[in-house]
Amino acid sequence: MKPADILKYAQKHGVKMIDCKFIDFPGTWQHITYPVERLEDGLEEGFGFDGSSIRGWQAINASDMLMIPDPTTAVVDPFLKVPTLSVICDIVEPITREPYRRCPRSLARRAEAYLTSTGIADTAYFGPEAEFFIFDSVRFDNAAHESYFHVDSVEGRWNTGREEEGGNLGHKPGYKGGYFPVSPVDTYTDLRTEMVLMMQQVGIEVETHHHEVATAGQAEIDMKYDSMVRMADKLMWYKYIVKNVARQAGKTVTFMPKPLYGDNGSGMHTHQSLWKGEQPLFAGDQYAGLSDMALYYIGGILRHAPAVCAFANPCTNSYRRLVPGFEAPVNLAYSARNRSAAVRIPMYSPSPKAKRIEFRSPDPACNPYLAFAAMVMAGLDGIENKIHPGDALDKDIYSLSPEELKEVPHVPHSLEGALEALRQDHSFLLKGDVFSADLLDTWIEYKREREIDYVRLRPTPSEFALYYDI
């Protein structure tokens, strides 16, 4: 939508308020709401706000910030009672009006600009497959004398013996048994469809939805691919819609990578390809129908994957999912069709336009603007330096012997390991002034102090089970 069209659009829909959304450093939407009368001036001048309390942002002595609405993102919010125009904003410095260096969306814009400047391509398409859990309830707390969490779902396999249902009706997905069963095992088809309809209402094109592998309401809704920043915007809408539709139904949704022990976690397999004009650049006559460029892109992804994990798998909980021998692809290899490889080449269609690579390690807890930018910068580094990924690994990696696995590199085993990889390997991110040393230092410091230390310093129930009677 062009700026000149927004006022007409707002008037047509009886808009009373404008809701300005922006993404904070870790990856959560924040918002401020204004009367619609401020819309015209706000589009031109921006909206000022105090950024001192936004996670990972400015200190209080430099906290004045400015939001600049992106008029192309304007849409009526589907959840608010009062007609409200929702618009995604970029953050700029109020004095210079330069993009704020720690604004994730501005960073992703710089990544797109850098891609164009290389002459290699002009568009990076992304198609994330974000998985999530639909629970009936969640309780958790941390205190000096106790620590616990409790989630529940009427679909949970652990409830096969529960009597509170007024007569247990059974038909609960087994552990790792939730992939594609019809009702009455899959009880959330209608709820997922409501989510899809709401996504379509805000302009998201959806390809499919289904129950995922785990018990207890694990789900996936797949969006059609789009350019990097636009897809990151859509992924934020995706999370917002899924959580709010679930809440309206008396349910709760989490994108935590590993909320359940002993069952599959939630990943975000991320499809990506490069195009120049109308020309797909990943189709060719090499392995699995790939071009040399696509192979070099894979080489860059695999070479820099440990550092990329600091953004694509950004939580301590991410590494409960990335465990060797379980469901997540931790081994840094590539293959056609083989889902045990970290990079897969989908083979559903022979069309050159469908040729893409799928990076399977990321999870939906990530900040998509930072994660997508890190992936494309790693892939571009592979192309620029002709980093060949070596031979494809078409075997089931999970069945390889320890001796065979010694030759296959793997992702870090912890968030701390990923941050250390980022500290040692980040020059590819600094190209084109996309990432900055300040942002990387702040990210590493924030994650270590606010998350790693937070988890490391607290005893867990598992430790009481292991050690209380020592």
Catalytic site residues?
Answer: 50, 129, 131, 212, 220, 269, 339, 358, 360
**Helix, strand, or coil (residue 141):** strand
Tally of CB atoms within 10 A around 143 = 8
Residue 62 DSSP class: G
Tally of CB atoms within 10 A around 371 = 31
**Helix, strand, or coil (residue 207):** strand
Tally of CB atoms within 10 A around 115 = 23
Instruction: Supply 431's token pair.
Output: 């190209």
Strands 343-345 and 334-336, sheet pairing = parallel
Distances (CA, A) of 182 to 170, 178, 212: 14, 10, 12
CA dihedral for 459, 461, 464, 467, sign (positive or negative): negative
Distances (CA, A) of 14 to 41, 43, 99, 203: 19, 18, 32, 19
Residues 142 and 201 sit within 8 Å (Cβ to Cβ): no
- Residue 289 gets the label, from left (phi > 0), alpha (psi -120 to 50) or beta, of left
